Amino acid sequence: TKWVYTFGDGQAEGSSGLRNLLGGKGANLAEMANLGLPVPPGFTITTDVCTYYYDNGHAYPPDLEKAVEDALAYISRQTGNVFGDPAKPQLVSVRSGARASMPGMMDTVLNLGLNDETVVAVAKAAGDERFAWDSYRRFINMYGNVVLDVAHHHFEEVLEIYKERKGIELDTELSAADWQELVKQYKAIVEQETGKPFPQDPKEQLWGAIGAVFGSWMNSRAIKYRELHAIPASWGTAVNVQAMVFGNRGETSATGVAFTRNPSTGEKELYGEFLINAQGEDVVAGIRTPQDITEKARVASGSTRPSLENALPDAYAELVRIYTLLESHYRDMQDLEFTIENGKLWMLQTRNGKRTAKAALRIAVDLANEGVITQHEAVARIEPAALDQLLHPTIDPKADRKVLVTGLPASPGAACGEIVFTSEAAEEARKVGRKVILVRVETSPEDIHGMHAAEGILTTRGGMTSHAAVVARGMGKPCVSGAGSVRVDYAAGTLTSGGVTLKAGDILTVDGGTGQVIVGEVKMLEPELSGEFATLMGWADSVRRMKVRANAETPLDARTARNFGAEGIGLSRTEHMFFDAERIVAVREMILSDDEKGRRAALAKLLPMQRQDFVELFTIMQGLPVTIRLLDPPLHEFLPHSEAEIAEVAQALGVSADKLKARAHALHEFNPMLGFRGVRLAIVYPEIAEMQARAIFEAASQVAKETGETIKPEIMVPLVMTSAELDLTKARIDAVAKEVAQETGVTLDYYVGTMIELPRAALRAGDIAKTAEFFSFGTNDLTQTTLGISRDDASTFLGDYVAKGILATDPFVTIDREGVGELVALAARNGREARPGIKLGICGEHGGDPATIAFCEETGLDYVSCSPYRVPIARLAAAQAAL
Ligand code: ADP
Ligand code: MG
Ligand code: MG
């Protein structure tokens, strides 16, 4: 087996294609060498060695030592120096590099090969004592820290004390003699902390560092990172050993980092920082303030220190030549690391640069317009989920903030307002135009109106799939959930965290993208939906096959959905319309009625309000399809719970509190999710479905008349398990349609379909499709009922299931392909067989998840429906799935 790959001087044994074997850093160093770029010579020890090391009780392959010897000899042939030679010593860096860049891995060790003897030779060869001793002390510090585990602060303290005693402020003012003295002290620290003298043998140093890189693959930080990012341990890391070049040799030497385009805005300009007379990570370490690379940036920043362009113009010109070449070679924005030694530029790293969502859009669109990549590639390059950052106001990253607490980033965007503790207070404030943040321990369906009225939501309990989180995401409202250390005292009207107490009316800012809760107001940036965003979405739409609809019930949601490009409403949940303060009285009256007559009387009061809801939706959607779901939740959700509320409601309705309690008691369910809900309501109380159907048909004929649009409502019956349930309900709906047609003189076309959300319905989809004119897969309930897991109770164990690899991902976020997905595929197949051309869609949280959308494309569904704020994400994901 070939364990070691060399690179340097216009050639390399590896290339960027060997990323798995050489790691990202090693593969790109090889690629740059192949391109003839100035890369210090070196070699990569492959990830296979890492695997071997762990498979064989921390032992190396027997022939590795020889391969490393040969590779060191290769470096010597290029540089004329010899590793470990006291007269002409070659110094090297040892750098880790996995396939994917991975924090947690060993930090780079520079200047390896220095000892008490070679330091003298280096000083002589360079004609610079100070440089040699500065390099040596850096080496002892780095090696001591990353290989021997001596804490960095030991070295820092000694340096600080030394500088203080000498009355010196900057490291740059220290002389060769100072560094020589400090080297002595540094070595003493190592001996004191490890019980052994600092290793003087360069071979021992080298193998020590190589071992530390492989060892770091299994440190707890790296393991945790791999867990979070689903990186298998079997990948292993590579080790790069590379001849040193020195940015700390004086005023014509420097080190720096650069991006080929601006990583936060995407603007096409060389962007970066450098430091004269510095080494390695000095630029990012923050000890000295770095300088701008271009003159333009220097002018913009107002810096008085020269740009690289002015200070070292030849090296700058070379950097410009190389960055242009690298960007067109990799066909993407690059993140570069370089060092200049005595005016000569050396490349030490290149990789595709990390960027903000905004920059990603701009760069993809620009590269396509420049002809570097195709439009399809541009579409493929944008991470759909990243668009979320762009669709909401966000906190200005430059703004100062006083963070009270950090909870879970439950729904993105930032919002600011006065604290309120009840949904009623939120609504009242909203009416008079005040902006509020609704703070609750947790939220329930009764808080929907309060959540609508609030700018943002903060809860102290509940996770990423809690009621507050799910509803807030659906509304596109910023939400921080599960801020467990916040104490809410409803009675006192206060919230307390870390000794700070805020009261109702105080200003609070929540950042649902980071989970930060901030005291007071912070400067915000508005979303930008034109420009590159619009261009890229246009390209995405031109390759997309599936339609994208939105889940929406309020006019605001429907309008937002249209703005974001929704092509219809895939789910309008009528129960949300019933929680409105005015209507809930009639809803409760209906529930409390003793007979059908009483119920019909109460429903008659609801009819005009419900009709108006649909008039608004049909009007906003201008003839696009609108799917309306009949009442779904169990009736007890509409009844009051606390004694105080019961008394109040009883009085309002003119019934006794006892009667109300008795009814609530009778409706109580042990497992409401599997209780008296969905189509079961329509079977037992058909008058409810009839009222809703009437409201739909009357609204549709009214809007059709007013606007001249063809309105073809889609009525969706929830929680069907047998075709008989649907047959009965459809017969009622058809009868209402006839009545309305007679009354209005308008004959409407409409569809009656069903949600497929129970396994039995999926299995019997062929029967059901004989009646159903469309299916919408309700994957939330279908997941709950297929897995037998209640979403609201899953948080206690689901995390362990994912961590232990029993489930690949949270099945409430991404569809469980093997189980739920299999049912969806089966139902789609049998449904189509029974009714060719039957419309198939998916609604619920999964409809906005890119991985689930890919599944929907494979299964050949006609559309996905998701919350309005996820519509652009779904459009892009559907396009990528179709590519
Ligand atoms: P990271 O993965 O943390 O970026 P690197 O291995 O890229 O670590 O090393 C960090 C820095 O160390 C580089 O950006 C470069 O400035 C410096 N460095 C690494 N190897 C060498 C070398 N052979 N000569 C000079 N500087 C080096
Ligand atoms: Mg680092
Ligand atoms: Mg680097």
Residues in the ligand 1 pocket, defined by CB under 6 Å: 40, 93, 95, 108, 110, 242-245, 255, 280-281, 337, 339, 348-349
Q: Side chain identity at 726, as an amino acid letter?
A: L
ipTM above 0.90, yes or no: yes
Name the residue of 339, 342, 354 to mutate for ligand 1: max ligand atoms within 8 A of Cβ. 339
Ligand nearest to the CA of 337: 1
Ligand 2 geometric centre to CA of 108 (Å) = 6
Give residue 354's pLDDT.
86
d(CA 156, CA 139): 14
Q: Which residues contact 732 (CB under 8 A, 6 or more apart)?
A: 682, 686, 689, 690, 693
Query: Band of the pLDDT at 241, cuts 50, 70, 90?
Result: very high
Whether pLDDT at 405 is above 70: yes
Q: How far is CA 280 from CA 301, 671, 727, in A?
A: 24, 62, 74
How far apart are the C-alpha atoms of 701 and 711, rounded to whole Å? 8
Q: In whole angstroms, give the CA distance from residue 428 to residue 426.
A: 6
pLDDT, tens digit (0-9, with 9 covering 90-100), for 86-104: 999 999 999 999 998 887 7
| pTM across the whole model | 0.84
Q: Give the span between the Cα atoms of 1 and 39, in whole angstroms.
A: 26
On whether 781 is known to bind a ligand per the annotation, the reply is yes
Closest among 410, 511, 407 to 813, alpha carbons compared: 410
Is pLDDT at 252 greater than 80 in this prediction? yes
Counting residues of the chain whose pLDDT is more than 90, the rounded percentage is 78
- Nearest-CA residue for ligand 1 atom 15 is 280
φ, ψ of residue 492 to 5 degrees: the values are -80, -15
The residue among 647, 629, 646 whose CA lies nearest residue 729 is 629
Alpha carbons 102 and 94: distance in angstroms, whole number: 16
Question: Which residue, 546, 484, 560, is CA-closest to 517?
Answer: 484
| Distance in Å, CA 250 to ligand 2 centroid | 24
Binned at pLDDT 50, 70 and 90, residue 729 comes out as very high
CB environment 247-278: b (16+ within 10 A), e (fewer): bbbbebbbbbbbbbbbbeebebebbbbbbbbb
Q: Which residues, other chains included, contact 640 with Cβ-Cβ below 8 Å and sequence gap of 6+?
A: 646, 648, 649, 660, 664
pLDDT of res. 45: 98
Q: Which of 417, 421, 404 is nearest to 492 (CA)?
A: 421
Q: Give the CA distances from residue 156 to residues 140, 186, 591, in Å, rounded to whole numbers and listed in that order.
A: 12, 10, 73
Taking only the tens place, the pLDDT of each residue in 196-235 is: 999 999 999 999 999 999 999 999 888 888 887 778 899 9
The model's pLDDT over 525-561, given as tens digits with 9 standing for 90+, comes to: 878 788 899 999 999 999 999 999 999 999 989 999 9
Q: For ligand 1, what atom is nearest to the CA of residue 257?
A: 14
Cα(first)–Cα(last) distance of the chain, in Å? 39
Which of 117, 75, 70, 68 lies closest to 92 in space, CA to CA? 75
What domains are there in the chain, each with its CATH number?
Answer: 4-243 (3.30.1490.20), 254-355 (3.30.470.20), 393-525 (3.50.30.10), 544-634+669-882 (3.20.20.60)
Residue 708 — very low, low, confident or very high, per pLDDT cuts 50/70/90?
Answer: very high
Nearest by Cα to 63 from 77, 76, 49, 75: 49
Residue 465: which pLDDT band, with cuts at 50, 70 and 90?
Answer: low
The pLDDT of residue 676 is above 90: yes
> Is the pLDDT score of 794 beyond 80?
yes
Task: Concatenate the DSSP letters of all residues of 268-282 into one string.
Answer: SS-EEEEEET--TTH
Nearest to 396 by CA among 492, 524, 278: 524
pLDDT confidence bin for 706, thresholds 50/70/90: very high
SS3 751: strand
C-alpha 553/C-alpha 725 separation (Å) is: 25
- Element containing residue 613 per DSSP (H, E): helix 596-621
Query: HSE on the CB side for 43, CA within 13 Å?
Result: 20
HSE-up (13 A, CA, CB side) for residue 176: 13
Q: What is the mean pLDDT of residues 853-878?
A: 97
The residues that are catalytic are 467, 843
Token pair for residue 709? Answer: 């649009």
Average pLDDT over residues 124-147: 95
What CA–CA distance (Å, rounded) separates 844 from 780? Answer: 6
pLDDT at 285: 66
* Atom number, ligand 1, closest to the C-alpha of residue 42: 23
Q: Over 90: is that where the pLDDT of 631 sits? A: yes
